Amino acid sequence: MSVAQPNVVLRGCPSSYLAEEERVRHVPDPGDRLKFYLGNRYEHFVPTSEWEVHDGVRLRVFVWTGATRPAE
């Protein structure tokens, strides 16, 4: 089984919630909004038109738009 190649880098989320090593990752659709559960909340990111190169790999930049808590 192969590991998916990283294709995005996440920017803007407070570092206390998202460590630097967790910011480069693979997402199924790099053209769509991203929402994932972290700790006790959902972090929301949107794709930008920017790209960065990390370790020779071109990654789409996503920026943090905020967080929400799940309904109880």
Please say if the pLDDT value at position 62 is more than 60.
yes
- Residue 1: the pLDDT is 55
Please say if the pLDDT value at position 72 is more than 90.
no
| Section 5-33 average pLDDT | 91
Looking at residue 18, what DSSP letter applies? S
* CB-based contact 48:60 (threshold 8 Å): yes
- Residue 2: the pLDDT is 63
pTM greater than the 0.75 cutoff: yes
What CA–CA distance (Å, rounded) separates 62 from 12? Answer: 9
Residue 65's pLDDT band (boundaries 50, 70, 90)?
very high
